[in-house]
């Protein structure tokens, strides 16, 4: 019994990746919708990320930068994006902790638990992509 290899158009892949990255749907939901596995959704995302990196590198080189300089700029941009993401995450945590300190209600504790679960899921998602 052999497996049938199903191919997907670039448009279908792009739409699935966009929905996954934006958080509209999970990889599992998209996989079920497209009769594939979540690992395919993750692979498509990696492919599009790599393609975007290559395009950015070409763009920098077309502006007259050497390949080494373009790569350095790209690495620094990636580092900056990661710092921005971390700052945004910490800002949300700080705001929720301040809110929690001001109130002793059960609802506030529930919001904090929800944040912790969300952060754990986001961290797991980032680890799977890398």
CA dist., res. 115 & res. 129, Å (int): 21
Only one residue has tokens 């790209």, namely 74
Q: What pLDDT shows up at residue 56?
A: 92
In the chain, where the domains are located:
8-64, 81-130
User: 14 pLDDT exceeds 90?
Assistant: yes
Per-residue model confidence as pLDDT tens digits over 64-109: 999 999 999 999 999 999 999 999 999 998 888 887 777 766 555 5
Q: What is the mean pLDDT of residues 44-58?
A: 93
pTM of the model: 0.60
């Amino acid at each position: 019994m052999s497996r049938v290899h199903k191919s997907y158009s670039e448009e279908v892949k792009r739409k699935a990746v966009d929905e996954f990255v934006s958080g509209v749907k999970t990889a599992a939901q998209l996989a079920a919708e497209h009769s594939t596995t979540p690992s395919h959704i993750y692979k498509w995302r990696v492919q599009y990320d790599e393609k975007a990196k290559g395009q950015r590198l070409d763009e920098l080189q077309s502006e007259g930068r050497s390949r080494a300089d373009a790569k350095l700029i790209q690495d620094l941009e990636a580092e900056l994006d990661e710092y921005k993401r971390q700052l945004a995450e910490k800002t949300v945590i700080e705001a929720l902790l301040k809110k929690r300190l001001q109130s002793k209600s059960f609802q506030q504790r529930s919001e904090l638990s929800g944040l912790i679960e969300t952060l754990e899921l986001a961290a797991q998602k980032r680890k799977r992509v890398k």
